[in-house]
Structure formats: C-alpha cells, structure tokens
Structure 1
Amino acid sequence: GDAARQDVQRWRARSCAVLTGIGTVLADDPQLNVREIAVERQPLRVVLDSALRISPSARIVQGGQTLIYTVSADTLKRDALTACGAEVVVLPDVAGQVDLLTVLRNLAQRGIYEVLVEAGKTLNGALLRAGLLDELVLYLAPQLLGDAARGLADLGELTQLEQRVELVWQEVRHVGGDLRITARIRHV
C-alpha cells in the first residue's frame, strides 16, 4: 500500500546506494531514487547488467548518479550510457556474470557501506546463496496472489534441510495495512 511505499522511500534515503539487477530494470523501468522525502543527497543507483542490455533511455540512467557493473566489452553501448551520465565499470567475466563479491568490494572502496537491494528473485537468490546479505526487510500485504506471483529469491532446488537460509526475526511492524518484517540472516 501507500504507507509501505513511503516506508521504502525512507529506507532508500538512509542508504548509500540502491542495488538492482537488469531483470528489474527491464521489467519495471524503476527510478530507485528518493522522491517523497527531502534529502541532502540521493543514493547512488547501482545496476548489475552482465550483457549491457540497459537502454540509455531507462529512467534509472536519467537524472542522478548511476553506476552500472558489467562484463560486456561492448564499447558502443558503454559510450552511449556514459554520454547519459552513467558510470560503467567492466569487471572480469565469471561464467558470463558479474562477480557479486567484487561489486561489493568495489562499492566499499568508494565508501559505500550500506546498500539497499531492490531486486527480483534472480539477484536476491544469488546474493543469499553467496552469503552476501545481512538483513531482509520484507513487506507483506494482506493478499494471496497464487503461484504466478513473483518469488522473493531463487535459491535453486533445496533438497536437504541443511541448504535452508535461516532467519532471526528482528521486528514485525504494521505499516499502513501491510506488515514490515525485518530479519537478520543467520550465516551458518
């Protein structure tokens, strides 16, 4: 609901960066900026896009700092994005993907230590499987959407209980008509 969306704006405002994947950019064309709260600085918008599929006209590239990590050597696409004001960082190719740990280390070298991830199940799952998330902030609406709804995280096929991701509940709070659940990830 509206209160949950405003709450997300507050989380963005306190973050150094907002990280997403190309799947979310292509599906939703998000801005990932702070719009409803007066802030001194906008968070850096970070996109993981292995093949540089992002369009220079994507809203996330417009009107603010955007950092794009890729493994693509396509200089024409890189130049078009740079001309729009985005910074493109080419990383070593790890099985056709951007290495997540390298991305987080690069962000830390830039002084970016608090990163809010607003992504789909592919990137969320990859970050969880790699043990690179500390906390989850989940919003739960009082609605059942069925099996066609978007999943939270692709964790692959979990065949043994030992493969689970354990959470430690931190807080459950009403935000308008929704619930906000905050949980730390227990790294085993």
Structure 2
Amino acid sequence: MKKDLNAKLTRGTQRTLDAFFDAMTALLAEKPFTGISVNALCERAGYPRATFYNYFEDRDDLLDYCWTALSDQANLSDLASSEPEHRVDTALDAMADLLEANAGLLQAVLEHNPPEGPLFSSLHVFIERKARELMSTCIDRDRSDLPADLIADHYANTMMLVLDWAYLRGHTLTREQLHVYAHTLLGGVE
C-alpha cells in the first residue's frame, strides 16, 4: 500500500480509502474477485485510475487494505491486556463478532467466491498473519519450553481452522462450541 496507515490520515485520504473499500466489497458481493477489474473499482468508487494507483499497487493491494480495515473493526487491541487463559476466547469472539456483523456481505461474497478460491486464500493468509502477530505478543513465554513463535503459529492456524469451519464452511457453532473446539485443538499447548 502506498499510504502509511499508521500515520494520521487526512479526511480526504480516509474518504478515498473508504470509497475504494466500499467499491471492492460491493463488487465482491456481485462477482468473483477474479472478475473485478481496476476500471470497475474506479467506476464504482467514483475516482479515476490515477487516484487508484496513487493509493494501491493493484487490486490485490486494495484487497489487503480491505482485510486490514475489517480487522480494525474487530477491536483486538485489548487482547494483550486480557488474562492468558482468556486470550483465545477474546480473539475468537472478536473475529466471530466481525464475521457475524458482516454475515450478509459474507454470504453474498461466498455465492460468487468459493472458500478454496483466491479471495479466501488471501483472507486466510491475512488472518493467519494477523493472528500470529496478536498471539506472538500475548503468549506467556514462561508457560512452555517451545519457541513463542512456534506457539503463535499453532494458535493462529488453529483459530483460523475453527473460524473457517464455522463461518466459511457453514457449520453452525454456538460461541461455547467455538471456544470448546479451539481449546480442545489447542489442548496440547495450553
């Protein structure tokens, strides 16, 4: 991404980012990711191609921004301050809240983009990377002799597996079941 999202964004920059985010999500609800062109994104967002390329390298870069914007809505910032035994549940709940809040969009996107296709492969990579970042800062390094990075990868992959099972593969789970599945799968580490 050509803009530093950690810097304070101007209202104009945020408005432009929001327009491209909205364009991408609207188009994903209508067609497969592979069928979305930069021209279609620009037309939907109401900006010229030059503006698109001032912000993004390509549509994959915009998609990565969309994942970042959605993850910011998950409010995972307080994860590190929660008790170690509640961190997995806190993270799962935050991600589940985000998926449930966007259930209509997710369903429309799933109609045009299969879970094993490029769109969801991109989402999996993003979620796993984000979960690794979150878990690596939260792992209680004194609780295990294993390297913290390895444990973080294990947690991230397990959380992604449970979320994928419940929300992308269509297995309806209660929150309690979501927690039980994750804790059972993580049982060897905790």
TM band (smaller chain)? under 0.3
Q: Which has the higher helix share?
A: 2
The higher radius of gyration belongs to 2
Q: TM-score scaled to structure 1, two decimals? A: 0.27
Q: Which has the higher strand share?
A: 1
Q: TM-score scaled to structure 2, two decimals? A: 0.26
